[in-house]
Amino acid sequence: MSAPVFAFEPNWANGIDEIWSYRTEVQAAWDGREIRRCTRDAPQRQIQYPLLTRTPERRNRIHRRLLDLLGKQVRIPVWQDASPVSVGAGATSCSVNTPGRQYYDGGEAIIWQDEQTWHVCDDLVESPTSISWTTPTASALQGRVAPLVKARLLPDVDGRVYTVDLEELRVNAFLDSSVLLGRLVDHDYPTYSNRIVLEHKSDEKDRSLEWSRRVETLSYETGLTTAYPAWSQSVVAYDFQWIFSAREAFGKFLDFLHLQRGRWGWFWWDTWARDLRLTAPIGASDTVIFVDNAATGTVPPCRSALTIRLKSGTIFRRNVTAQTATSVTLDSPLGVAVAIGEIDRITWLLPVRFDTDNFRFRWETTTLVQIAARLRHVLTITDDDDDDDDDDSESPP
């Protein structure tokens, strides 16, 4: 017997929140080194969206439906994947762009006209531009078509299944993750030293950062104190927001996100800032490049590599072996001569990981989604690229 359909349309004025939750055990040493173990290979998927109650009759109808389905398996439309559609009576196919959406062979979709008039499309066969199904429509329908997925209406972290006021009701549901993970496509990501480089540029408007460093303080009976840093360097955490309006780019980011499994994996990240300014042309065999550099002295792990991005789109990435206020020494030459005018930007290439296991996607419309997350410096890094092991431990400095 098929699970009932929860076909109430969300209020798009406040968007739809989709939440991915991984689980990572992080054991931190006294000096900041970490051992991280991924304990949840597939994310727990949660979706929250508001419903307009409009009238007391509709509010009571939604309440009765929710109370009847509490804790049970239901099927809900993936509203953020919905597309306009119009079909006639007896239809067994329709045109729809499926890439980046949760349609799959053998799955289900819904052609939704209103909350009481819809048709479930069973045993789907999908192509990039259409879907077909087995049971024909009983009548002509005009509205939206969306994937239909299994879910359970369960309490959120505060123990609430839904919240109610006089005009709006907010639904909380947990989705089956297997469908979405099966739709993720492997992408060719840029890599450096056998690790992925995150090249998705964030929204500059909402960038912020936080500095922290562990310092041990000893107090003596004389009233004197001694303080010394337990960590070899400060840790910087960056708060970012990414905005996507193209399904292809968003799908690539989701695949990258799943590869990291929340806080577990580490990767390289381009700051996209103009961290260094070139002051002299670079020769093809030069390993020392002359720049304005605010940092001097020993090269810390968070400044151990950089990206040289040209206006032509060519990208060079190199390790930094030494630095002064006026120069940076690279581990190998670029192999080509570069003039000052050819430089778009020189940025630090930072080893980072996500500082959260929970990721919230705010769908403003079916084509616009925002993601907020925090990145954190990895104090020490290794050359170990064995991603088959759930343990991602870091070597001593």
Give me the mean pLDDT over the 375-394 stretch: 55
DSSP letter string, 229-267:
ESSSS-EEEEEEEEEE--HHHHHHHHHHHHHHTTTT--E
Which residues touch 231 (CB under 8 Å, ≥6 apart)? Answer: 31, 32, 213, 214, 379
- Residue 108's beta-bridge partner residues? 148
CB 249 within 8 A of CB 210: no
pLDDT tens readout for residues 308-329: 999 999 999 999 998 888 889 9
Plot region of 62 (φ>0 → left; ψ -120 to 50 → alpha; else → beta): alpha
pLDDT score for 358 = 94
pLDDT tens readout for residues 84-130: 999 999 999 999 999 888 898 999 999 999 988 999 999 999 999 99
pLDDT tens readout for residues 264-313: 999 999 888 888 899 999 999 999 999 987 654 445 556 789 999 999 99
Nearest to 352, CA basis, from 209, 186, 205, 181 = 209
- Which residues in 382-396 are b (16+ Cβ under 10 Å) and which e? eeeeeeeeeebebee
Rounded to 10 degrees, what is the CA torsion of 245, 251, 254, 256?
A: -110
Domain coordinates in residue numbering, the chain: 12-183, 185-397
One-letter amino acid of 53? T
One-letter amino acid of 222? T
pLDDT score for 106 = 92
Model confidence, pTM: 0.81
